[in-house]
Structure 1
Amino acid sequence: MLDRATIDALFPPDLPDPGHWEQRYPPRQLPEGAKLTRLGPSPTGFVHVGVIYVAMTDRDVAHRSGGRFLVRVEDTDQSREVEGALAQFDRAFAYFGTTPDEDDSTGAYGPYRQSQRSDIYLSYARELLREGKAYLCFATAEEVADIRQRQQEQKVPTGYYGRWALWRDADQADVQAKLAAGAPYVVRFRSPGRIGARAEFTDAIRGPLSAEDNYNDVVVLKSSSNAVRLPTYHFAHAVDDHLMRVNLVIRGEEWLSSVPMHLQLFTALGFEPPTYAHIALLMKQIPGGKRKLSKRKDPEASVDHYIQAGYPAEAVLYYLRGLANGRLAEMPLADALAAPINLAELGGAGPLVDLVKLEDISADHIATLSGQQILDALRPWAAEFDPELASVLAKEPEQALSALAVEREGVANPRKDLRKWSDFRGAYGFFFPALFTLVGPDDERLRGLPTDLVRTFAQQFVDGYQDLTDPQEWFNEIRDLAAKHGFAPNAKEYKRNPDAYPGSIREASQVFRVALTGSTRSPDLFSVARALGRDEVLRRVGALTR
């Protein structure tokens, strides 16, 4: 064990002792039973939808217990940090209403980025060295690789431990010589564990668990060759969770195997460990089974997929809450968003993310909204992702409301053609002249009707058009005109003798449907015409005469 003077010389002379940080971050004054939860995302790429899944749970559990929810960015692996990742966090949390209760401007337990807390970690690493619970390790990467190879050859557990730990019980003189030579080193935790031992703990989701205890002397402070000494995740999370007074850590099940090591670190540091709750990972159905929702393979793994497509946040949160607790999926959306998430109901099996199901939920939700509510939600989405549409909506808000009223207002079963805001242009864009392309008489969607017939048919419609308010009388205009041009009165008659007619009333109506909407499928044609107005109807049908 190194003497205190040698240890202290490795650290800044003005580095505070742990007692300073204990006073700086005192226990929180929270109600009895309050949960202090935290999310620890890493800025190493796009935000996974699983981050929102956990944040949603963190926030719900904390707030319902009278506690608080914070986000602490775990950016100690700066070589992997992706530019713009922090902004993605902010956007994702804001969109889905999972903004933390504390940040550097509002919280008293910051900084909330680990890269800005280096002095704190150094204080506790130095204390572990002083107490002999950690040691300096000068093993090179080649030596560590050689140890692993020999362990594999001898068929013993791999790792840096016991007799394989070259510097665990090194003579002080050897350590001093390496320091004098300027050799780089890491600080390793002196694990008290042994091979074959078991660690027992209780998970808030999975109940009592037993796992192989940690026997590895894990690195707690990275190489001294770095300009800024940064901790490993394992060490930093233990120090931060203690000082931020986190008492419930909800995280993905991939961290289950690390619990024994983390418990050892808490014990060595003299901290009360938090309760852990390990959530099953979100999964995707594939032929023959399922797999983890992948950042590399699955677009729906990214939070930006949902934001850019314009899924309403309420619908996505409702869906995710249903994945967390099945009973919530059986409730109406508003009730489910207000009901508590129960950790004990999360279970150990990874829930499947099904975009088809989400789109159904989203369509049902949007169908309950008024035209004005849709417009209010659509505008900010369009401003970011469809500027042309945003401009049109700003200029013609009344036309947007008229369009949204078609087959939605005053009906028992409103249209459900909007599943997300990016669907609006395809479903309703034809209502706006600026977004509509006029149709010519030879358009292929007119089902091969002779061009001259289409021109004549359209011209007579324009010449005699009456902007009638009764739907049956309005449609009779088309029916009477179709009869004059030899169209069969119904599909059955046309089918009986197709050579005798250019088509049935269906084909005749389709001429005007395509002219007004640009599609062979549309909402009720009379309602469309009323929303467009007389002048626009005549302009569009008139294009067929050219």
Structure 2
Amino acid sequence: MDDIFNQIAEVVFPESLPDPNYFEELYPPRNLSASAFVTRIAPSPTGFFHIGSLYTALICKLFAHQSDGVFYLRIEDTDKKREVEGSTNLIINTLLRYGLKFDEGPDKYGRELGSYGPYVQSSRATIYFSFIKNLLQHGKAYPCFCSPETLDELRVKQQSSLSRQGYFGQWAVCRHKTPEEQLQELKTGKPFVIRFRSEGSFEQKIKVADLILGTRELPENDQDFVIMKSDKLPTYHFAHAIDDHLMRTTHVIRGDEWFSSVPIHLQLFKALKFEAPKYAHIAPIQKKVGNSKRKLSKRKDPEANIEYFDAEGYPKQAILDYLINLMNSDFEKWRNKNPNEQIELFNISFERLKKCNGALFDFDKLNHISKQIIAGMTAGDLYEEVLKWAKENDRSFASVLVNNADYAKNILSIERGETEKARKDLIKYSDMKEKFMFFFDEYFDLNKKKKEQILLHNGFDLNEVKKIINEFIESFEDGDSKEVWFSKMKEIGNNYNYAESVRMQKNNPHLFRGNIGDMVKIFRILLSGSTQTPDLYSMIKVMGRQRVISRLNLVS
């Protein structure tokens, strides 16, 4: 019997192939401690990078590095029909942009880091062929010649007879062909795939130990699944088993949509005489819609795409901090005590992941974290980050920032650096244009008519406004300290019956028309077009005398 199996294997793979033992020696067990994790992120290059993939990659990196292990990137590109050009570089660049530097894997220049590659599945054909040939030689796999039409007919028959779906038992047509019949059909050149010969029984249950989901029972696999397609590319199930073994992966951390496939994978590991890795299946990040929850959708939710956050200008650190907070809510306390520490110093655990599995995506929480991070930046650092964002997403704004670099930095320095009073109105870098565009003459288009309309809407008398402005211009000196400036503003206010403070107005409401805060709204409106602005004195200092008087003169 072995001879006929060898003949089948030679027809399928007529080329000379190394024995599987060659690869076992080429990729020996890693020289790491028994407690070290070897983890991987293994995306397919089929489109945009999902935030859930970033979440998984972050978990994998943290577990690997906190155990002095290895975190590597593997590109699973065996499904060529779904592959999107440029996606591999997108994956690599996204991981690096978010600081998730992998210890091993391909880079964007086609080079590879590490001794356990190739790390791109389409470059590992010889390895897969060697192990598939070995399975054929031992009768653990066989060629299947069923056409798509034949498989469709099988499905119809199963449906009409209310049978379970799939290619197994009596429905596994080619399984029941003798090796001699299989060899004869191979020699005719008929198209074929290679199927794994399952020895499992669906009636039997196996216990699957999962580090997040716990121990659960699943039916044993009895499907003769395809391990090599007609184009000679391996399927995901087979390729990942070979790769995880030869790359010496200790922990497979992935989405829980793969949990039902564990019986297939364990069966493969056993047939190949490999030690199976430990599994941890993560529930997808979810979104609340009305009273129900669902996983973030590639089609429905823009925030599923990590590029959404880049385009909006969220700090990379805000995204990472938020994702770790989803893994372990204790992270927020840790971050408050360690605002400048690297996230790798925060230890995560499977116990905490169990409690947080299937977390809801919360924009309010993300925005809070992002505000804190931006508020803690220096004006110079924030300017550089905003400029970097603008160059990629808003080139006209980038030009304004470059042409007014010192001015822009001064704008960003307003109420920054005072820990207790640091402004927290910027959630993301794109907010600078919206919040502060009035500072820039290139964007400030509030003409006399518009200003008068806003003033009238806020209850101001235009003639009185002109008098207040004229008095201010006469007394305004660039070198005035805040105390001197405010003293002058109070003096002007007194001339027009504005109380010097809110308390003074409250104590004597019948004596005053308002307080100094009401009067300075005039200046806020004329300088910015709004009554809500940063600190007025700081605004005036940053804008400078010429710009301030120019804008005030529109009504004077």
Do Structure 1 and Structure 2 share a fold, with TM-score over 0.5?
yes
SS of the counterpart of 2:520?
A: helix
In the other structure, the counterpart of 1:320 is 323
In the other structure, the counterpart of 2:136 is 129
State the AA in 1 paired with 2:388: P
- Tell me, yes or no, if structure 1 residue 427 matches structure 2 residue 416: no
Q: Distance in 2 between matches of 1:85 and 1:458?
A: 59
Deviating more after overlay: 302-311 vs 65-74: 302-311
SS of the counterpart of 1:220?
A: strand
Match 2:480 to one of 454, 469, 475:
469
Q: Distance in 1 between matches of 2:294 and 2:55?
A: 17
Match 1:436 to one of 432, 435, 444:
444
Match 1:65 to one of 64, 67, 70:
67
In the other structure, the counterpart of 1:405 is 413
Q: Distance in 2 between matches of 1:43 and 1:446?
A: 56
Asked if the contact 2:196–2:224 (Cα under 8 Å) also holds between the matched residues in 1, the reply is yes
Deviating more after overlay: 300-309 vs 13-22: 13-22
Asked if the contact 1:137–1:185 (Cα under 8 Å) also holds between the matched residues in 2, the reply is yes
- Tell me, yes or no, if structure 1 residue 163 matches structure 2 residue 166: no
Match 1:373 to one of 374, 377, 381:
381
Matches within 5 A, 1:338-377: 338-347=345-354, 349-377=357-385
Q: Distance in 1 between matches of 2:313 and 2:152?
A: 49
Q: Distance in 2 between matches of 1:472 and 1:307?
A: 42
Asked if the contact 1:53–1:320 (Cα under 8 Å) also holds between the matched residues in 2, the reply is yes
Q: Distance in 2 between matches of 1:308 and 1:168?
A: 53
In the other structure, the counterpart of 1:231 is 234
- Tell me, yes or no, if structure 1 residue 116 matches structure 2 residue 123: yes
In the other structure, the counterpart of 2:225 is 218
- Tell me, yes or no, if structure 1 residue 181 matches structure 2 residue 188: yes
Asked if the contact 2:315–2:428 (Cα under 8 Å) also holds between the matched residues in 1, the reply is yes
State the AA in 1 paired with 2:545: R
Match 1:140 to one of 128, 134, 147:
147
Match 1:445 to one of 451, 454, 459:
454
State the AA in 2 paired with 1:319: Y
- Tell me, yes or no, if structure 1 residue 330 matches structure 2 residue 333: yes
Give deviations 1:121-153, integer Å, cap 9, x for gaps.
111111111110001111122222222222222
Asked if the contact 1:329–1:336 (Cα under 8 Å) also holds between the matched residues in 2, the reply is no
Q: Quote how far apart the aligned CAs of 1:213 are.
A: 1.2
Give deviations 1:162-217, integer Å, cap 9, x for gaps.
11100002023432443243221110000111121112232122332221111111
Matches within 5 A, 1:238-277: 238-277=241-280
Deviating more after overlay: 535-544 vs 94-103: 535-544
- Tell me, yes or no, if structure 1 residue 305 matches structure 2 residue 308: yes
> Among the aligned pairs, what percent are the same residue?
39
**Normalised by the size of structure 1, how large is the TM-score?**
0.91
State the AA in 1 paired with 2:406: E
Q: Distance in 2 between matches of 1:269 and 1:451?
A: 87
State the AA in 2 paired with 1:40: A
Q: Distance in 1 between matches of 2:546 and 2:67?
A: 60
Match 2:213 to one of 191, 200, 206:
206
In the other structure, the counterpart of 1:92 is 94
- Tell me, yes or no, if structure 1 residue 514 matches structure 2 residue 525: yes
In the other structure, the counterpart of 1:295 is 298
Give deviations 1:226-272, integer Å, cap 9, x for gaps.
3xx11110000001111111111100111110001000001111111
Q: Quote how far apart the aligned CAs of 1:508 are.
A: 4.3
State the AA in 1 paired with 2:445: T
SS of the counterpart of 1:230?
A: coil
Q: Distance in 2 between matches of 1:250 and 1:530?
A: 54
SS of the counterpart of 1:469?
A: coil
Q: Distance in 1 between matches of 2:493 and 2:421?
A: 31
- Tell me, yes or no, if structure 1 residue 527 matches structure 2 residue 538: yes
Q: Distance in 1 between matches of 2:488 and 2:448?
A: 21
Q: Distance in 1 between matches of 2:489 and 2:448?
A: 19
SS of the counterpart of 2:430?
A: helix
Asked if the contact 1:441–1:455 (Cα under 8 Å) also holds between the matched residues in 2, the reply is no
Q: Distance in 1 between matches of 2:426 and 2:359?
A: 26
Give deviations 1:379-437, integer Å, cap 9, x for gaps.
32233223333334334443233222322233523110111111122223333334433
State the AA in 2 paired with 1:363: K
**Could you list the runs of 5+ residues in structure 2 that have no partner in the other structure?**
106-110
Deviating more after overlay: 347-356 vs 406-415: 406-415
State the AA in 1 paired with 2:425: D
- Tell me, yes or no, if structure 1 residue 541 matches structure 2 residue 552: yes
Asked if the contact 2:38–2:64 (Cα under 8 Å) also holds between the matched residues in 1, the reply is yes
Give deviations 1:345-394, integer Å, cap 9, x for gaps.
21164000101110011112222222233234333223322333333433
Matches within 5 A, 1:32-71: 32-71=34-73
State the AA in 2 paired with 1:382: A
**Normalised by the size of structure 2, how large is the TM-score?**
0.89
